[in-house]
Structure 1
Amino acid sequence: MDAALDEQTCCLNGVSSFHLDTEFVDQILEVGCARTDNFYTIEPAVIRPRGSNVVCPQTQKLGSSYVDALSGPEHVGNSDYMLSYSWGYQVGDVVSALSHHCQKKNHDPKSTYFWICCLCINQHRVIEVRERGDEIPFEEFRAAFRSRVRGIGKVLALMAPWDRPVYVTRAWCVFELFTAISDESCRLTVVMPPSEVVKFCGSIANTGALTSYLWSALEQLDLETAQASVASDKDMILQIVRDGVGLESLNQVVRQRLLSWLAEAAYAECCDQVAKGGLRGDSAATAVSETANLLHRLGKFDDACTLLSASIDTAFTPSEEGTIEKANLWRVVGKNYDYLGQNEAAAEAFQKALGILRQLNQLESHDGAAVLTCVAANLQEMGRMEEALANYEQAWEIRQVCGLERSLDASDLLAMMGVAECKLGSSAGLQHAQQAKTLRIQLGQLNSPHGAHVLQQLGLCHFMLGDIQAAIVEFDESKAILEKTSSLQTPQGASVLQRAARCFCKLGDAQRELELLWEARKLLEDAEQLHSKSGVLVLLDLGSALLDAREDAEAKKVLELAEQICSEKGIDGSVSDLVQERLKVLRKTRYCIIS
């Protein structure tokens, strides 16, 4: 919303989807405008003129809002939704998005009404106020805004275009979204125009397109740098936020909601397409792999498992031979098993991926290196460090032979190989991990969850070599990136806090160690991911720290919860074994936990 508020905002009447699709669009075309014009263009040509000869019911003056100039239940009624959007959007996108929303929800377009600021605020009064040079009192502005959101109770946030939405660059939009998220009585739904839904769905099947957009777009979302048509509007918004939750907190909440929405949209669309047969063969394998990778980054391993399980038969039709896309799908299936703590099942999936690549004579390729990297990580999880390093080295050799040593995947490989080398006492480990960070910086891709993972690996190398302060620096930088990309409330976020806690234990700061471990546990609880392998690892360290603090009863509860999670989730291997060891010998050293 870019217009100043006035007393008219107390009226919650809205326009119907039917009216927008018919009479509203017809008026736009009649005056020589087009569906591709934005609201700044059509406001003086269509919106204001509609109410010019109508008495405003609130002020009793000539000149009403657009909505007050309408009559009949097919056109106007009490708003069901408030639309949060930018005046810079194309009118056709807004109209089609609301029509599409009605279709999806089985709403009658003739009796579903939307509160849209440009149509529901009296623009005649807005112009009068501006021409007088007056400003609306701050508290009146704030009260009117809150009453509208709470009075309607349901907000639609319109994103267009999906990969670079104008929405996140507008101060009003960001603030409206935050207000809707923060109000427990308000339900928020993010919507897109149908044309953008098509593009979004296409991006899911385009390797890397979805995830590469996410981190760059979320990193740039910042209320302080957002724009507003009226400077005083932004000043008011910033004042509200600074007096309340603070700018960074607002940014974090909004980023997290947008990220969750995109993940949910990708998951729902992928499941729907697989169920309907819209995705088959290689296209299914690619789309499912991309969506599962995004779900992994958010710690939604169970959702990823559901999607992967449902799509295996769709991707592997009896009449088709193995392809690179199907090998990659098996790789992602294996990664998901690893995240769930089912190491043996993961190893089996990785071997299927390798088998397909060998049949295709494609082992020495980017895809072959990617699978070997996963095989190595799986072996590392099971404590088979020499075998793990051999697979990391083979993957690195392939990347060098194929000229793929300057890529994002190469950076991830170097960091993981560095940790394995440090664990085996090789001096090359730290150098490789530092090289991984440098490569990310050179490629302009450090500020992403993958970049944060590289920093965690580098910090772990410093930790194993005894440079605790250097490790803390890397962990802190990793945490900052996860916060910036709204990825802290994930298993990865909990992991960086857990590793930082180990540093403070080494420094003798038991209080800070416990604070970080409790924080890591809370992150996982809030993300509903405590009952996972990541949760067990955090609980193991927390239980040990509590024992050191002589809080034996609390430590016992924590470790027994870890045992319960291992049992209910089928977590096998060294993680489960450690839980049993800790319960038998409660004071066993914590640092043998797999990093």
Structure 2
Amino acid sequence: MATPSTSPDRGVRLSYLRHFINEHGGEASFAGKTTAQVCFEFVVPLTKPSELSLVDHVASDPTTANYVAPANWYVSHAWMYLFLETVDSLERFFADRDLGDDAVLWFCVFNNNQHLASSYPFEYWSTTFKNGLAAIGNVVMVLHPWNDPIVLRRSWCVFEVYVAVTLGARFEIALAHDQEQRCIGDMAEDGAFRKMLATVKCENSEATVPSDRDGIFALIRAETSFIAVDQLIFSVFADWIKRTLEASIPALPSLLEQAERWSALGRIYQDERNYGDAARCHEHALLLRTSRADPLVVAMTQTHLGMMRSMLNQPASTWRPLFESALATQSDALGPFESDVFETQYYFVAALSRNGRTDEAKGIALDLFDAHRHVYGLAHKYTAVVMGLVASLHVHSHESRASLRWSRKAAALQEQLHGSDFLNTVLTLQIATVAYMNLGRFDEGLALNQRVLATTQRTFGADHELTLAATLNQGKFLVHVGELARATSILRSVRDLLPSAKVPKDYTRDVELNLGHAAWTSGDLGAAADHFQVAHRRVPGKCTVSAIYRLALATTDANARRDLLDLVVLDDIDEAPETWVAECVLCSKPVTGVLLTCKACPKGVLFFCAACAATKRGRLERFCRHDPPVAQLETALPPRRLLYHDALLAQEGSYERIESLLNDYATYCETYKVPMHERLQRRSVPVLNRNWHPMV
């Protein structure tokens, strides 16, 4: 715990810590003692004659007064820490920054009057704390142990981070030498950084006086959030560990040790979804290991580099050979049922999925799941990860019911094994939210997505890919449930963050599409058209064409309709022009042929195929939230078919041209299996059925 000083603007120079130790028998007298013990065994007796704080006591003695000066660093620490570790942490921190001679510390044990501390109420401490930190402007937090810091389990220390957040103070962390070495060593273990992110949660902190905790939490919730507090800690720590790891590499004695450090750094960037820097690190590691390391180590490095290149959407020729080489090496040396082989297959499936090769990926993934079930059993952490991968592939394959089953089972197992804030748990829950959305189960999906969003904001910050995906989904859900103002505000906040975020360009398209659907639902078809056209310019594709086309059908102005239809570029390489990108919420299959929507429901939300609309009307109308809840169904033909119909039903045109067009239409219908009752009949074509005269 840290508590305020009677003189919050004053502190002791860093050198006084060593003077204090030497004056009381040297390090041997302090060995194994916590800061709390040092307070009661040394500070209280020393200041008993004056009954002042140690800072004021030192200042009143001419022989030591030069150790006191205006404080420029506020030290946040836990009284349960070993005192010598805290001193080591601070000395190393300031030495690394060449600040040792200038650092003057506000250190609670020394600044607070320990003879009166128990008599002051919460309001006194909180006000003095905040004022003192505001005046100083710099906070250094001693973090021990690195992966579950005691300091963050103490509410008063969390309060100090809260003050730093609200005041915009500089916030840094410090580790003792052995803690730093332990942290660097732990980074060699895959998943160590993810585990730390899931473990640290300031909202779980405690105080010796329960009412102090309640008061601190009330202040945090009123002025900021625990998400912001945690995010400040994570961002500072992540920057520190990345800097420390990379700076330590040149001093390592062997090239293979350097390669291991590069790999550890690459995995941290990988966990952050910073694929460019992750690829850079794995390239360094592969270069150093090739011809030097065990072939199996080289193979796993190829796997990680291949995955990063695929996530950067680089050509398959840059990553597929790496996977194939790694799998050949691993299978020859280990056989098919070994963890390295499984890991490479897992990343290969993810790479295929990322690059649109879903069918190939799904076959490998299902085989991989069967192998994991055989080798590890259903309740193993590795099996749970593969289950999450299968769930994601089902979403990409428009199999939302299957995806929801897989993702819920995987998330339940991951939460049991790792906790609700573990990265893999959150990723799997994010898949489940998409499945809920596709199934029209918006209330359940919205509640789950709020949980995912809170975790990603806390862990990664607002501009991280996972947070942006969850925020975008939040906006989509709110459109779906009709909360258009909130949806629009959230979607615009995502759009504002995208220029500086490291995310695929699909995010820009999806934001504009959802803003368009919100505008369309509110009745502003002009704004909807603008958003859809921006989306189409940024990332043209079938989903943007579909949105523009459906809006054109809803437009009553003939000129506006024609202008929109002119934007619908018929892509000759589209192998499925009768299939929509929309999924029927009743059968969870891509809609083929006639698309049906409810005119009274939010736009771009609920789609139905003709078969389900005809046979499941009761289930269909359960999705209608309007009054009365009776579906007002509208139909839309696939774009290419409609353009055929428009041309054939025109009143003008030569007989030969229309005859040729009708033959093309008939071929189209046969090729794409258009039902007979949906086809335009010859007798319906005006030009081919008018009364002819040889002189006409």
SS of 2:200's equivalent? helix
**2: CA distance between counterparts of 1:441 and 1:352?**
35
SS of 1:206's equivalent? coil
- 2:423 equivalent among 420, 430, 449: 449
**1: CA distance between counterparts of 2:55 and 2:92?**
32
Aligned residue for 2:306?
Answer: 334
- 1:178 equivalent among 162, 182, 195: 162
Aligned residue for 1:116?
Answer: 107
**2: CA distance between counterparts of 1:328 and 1:432?**
28
Offset at residue 137 of structure 1 (A):
8.4
Offset at residue 82 of structure 1 (A):
1.4
1:189 aligns with 2:177: no
**2: CA distance between counterparts of 1:169 and 1:2?**
13
Amino acid at match of 1:42: V
Does the 8 Å CA contact 2:162/2:220 hold for their aligned counterparts? no
1:99 aligns with 2:91: yes
Aligned residue for 1:156?
Answer: 140
- 2:34 equivalent among 28, 34, 38: 38
**1: CA distance between counterparts of 2:328 and 2:304?**
15
Offset at residue 579 of structure 1 (A):
8.0
- 1:415 equivalent among 374, 388, 395: 388
1:210 aligns with 2:179: no
Deviations 1:332-363 (A, max 9, x none): 22332233333523434433432432343354
CA RMSD for the aligned pairs?
Answer: 3.7
Offset at residue 275 of structure 1 (A):
3.1
Amino acid at match of 1:89: Y
Does the 8 Å CA contact 1:83/1:155 hold for their aligned counterparts? yes
Offset at residue 205 of structure 1 (A):
1.0
Aligned residue for 1:567?
Answer: none
TM-score, with normalisation over the residues of structure 2? 0.69
Does the 8 Å CA contact 1:498/1:516 hold for their aligned counterparts? yes
Aligned residue for 2:514?
Answer: 545
1:364 aligns with 2:337: yes
1:532 aligns with 2:516: no
Taking the TM superposition and a 5 Å limit, the aligned residue runs for 1:441-480 are 441-465=415-439, 467-480=441-454
1:307 aligns with 2:293: no
**2: CA distance between counterparts of 1:523 and 1:449?**
22
Does the 8 Å CA contact 1:97/1:194 hold for their aligned counterparts? yes
SS of 1:37's equivalent? coil
**1: CA distance between counterparts of 2:191 and 2:55?**
52
68-77 or 296-305: bigger deviation: 68-77
Offset at residue 53 of structure 1 (A):
4.4
Offset at residue 37 of structure 1 (A):
0.8
Offset at residue 587 of structure 1 (A):
6.9
**1: CA distance between counterparts of 2:112 and 2:419?**
43
1:78 aligns with 2:76: no
**2: CA distance between counterparts of 1:167 and 1:370?**
36
TM-score, with normalisation over the residues of structure 1? 0.80
Does the 8 Å CA contact 1:328/1:367 hold for their aligned counterparts? yes
Aligned residue for 2:7?
Answer: 9
Does the 8 Å CA contact 1:2/1:228 hold for their aligned counterparts? no
Amino acid at match of 2:16: H
Q: Identity of counterpart residues, as a percentage? A: 16
* CA distance 1:430–1:141, shift in 2 (3 Å): closer
Offset at residue 233 of structure 1 (A):
4.6
Amino acid at match of 2:240: A
SS of 1:295's equivalent? helix
Aligned residue for 1:521?
Answer: 495
Equivalent pairs, count: 548
**1: CA distance between counterparts of 2:216 and 2:274?**
34
* CA distance 1:437–1:107, shift in 2 (3 Å): closer
**2: CA distance between counterparts of 1:46 and 1:190?**
26
Deviations 1:154-192 (A, max 9, x none): 2111111212211011111111122123323x2111111
**1: CA distance between counterparts of 2:219 and 2:476?**
39
Does the 8 Å CA contact 2:426/2:452 hold for their aligned counterparts? yes
1:226 aligns with 2:205: yes
Does the 8 Å CA contact 1:51/1:69 hold for their aligned counterparts? no
SS of 1:320's equivalent? coil
**1: CA distance between counterparts of 2:373 and 2:188?**
28
Amino acid at match of 1:330: Q
Amino acid at match of 2:234: L
**2: CA distance between counterparts of 1:477 and 1:232?**
28
**2: CA distance between counterparts of 1:504 and 1:11?**
49
Amino acid at match of 2:70: N
SS of 1:443's equivalent? helix
**2: CA distance between counterparts of 1:181 and 1:206?**
31
Does the 8 Å CA contact 1:37/1:91 hold for their aligned counterparts? yes
**2: CA distance between counterparts of 1:53 and 1:492?**
58
Deviations 1:346-391 (A, max 9, x none): 4344334324323433543222222222222222233322211111
SS of 2:173's equivalent? strand
* CA distance 1:44–1:509, shift in 2 (3 Å): closer
Does the 8 Å CA contact 1:263/1:291 hold for their aligned counterparts? no
SS of 1:276's equivalent? coil
- Asked which structure has the greater CA Rg, the reply is 2
**2: CA distance between counterparts of 1:182 and 1:587?**
50
SS of 1:123's equivalent? coil
* CA distance 1:378–1:2, shift in 2 (3 Å): closer
* CA distance 1:164–1:512, shift in 2 (3 Å): closer
Aligned residue for 1:386?
Answer: 359
Aligned residue for 1:261?
Answer: 236
Name structure 1 gaps, 5 residues minimum: 564-574
Offset at residue 200 of structure 1 (A):
0.5
Does the 8 Å CA contact 1:207/1:286 hold for their aligned counterparts? no
**2: CA distance between counterparts of 1:329 and 1:582?**
43
* CA distance 1:310–1:226, shift in 2 (3 Å): same
1:403 aligns with 2:357: no
Deviations 1:223-270 (A, max 9, x none): xx533345565455345335433xxx1x11121122223322332232
**1: CA distance between counterparts of 2:320 and 2:454?**
33
Offset at residue 501 of structure 1 (A):
4.3
Does the 8 Å CA contact 2:194/2:271 hold for their aligned counterparts? no
1:168 aligns with 2:152: yes
Q: Larger relative contact order (C-alpha < 8 A, sep ≥ 6)?
A: 1
**1: CA distance between counterparts of 2:315 and 2:378?**
28
Aligned residue for 1:439?
Answer: 413
**2: CA distance between counterparts of 1:107 and 1:238?**
34
Does the 8 Å CA contact 1:155/1:189 hold for their aligned counterparts? yes
* CA distance 1:390–1:277, shift in 2 (3 Å): same
Offset at residue 45 of structure 1 (A):
2.6
Does the 8 Å CA contact 2:74/2:140 hold for their aligned counterparts? yes
Offset at residue 471 of structure 1 (A):
4.0
Amino acid at match of 1:545: N
Does the 8 Å CA contact 1:370/1:409 hold for their aligned counterparts? no
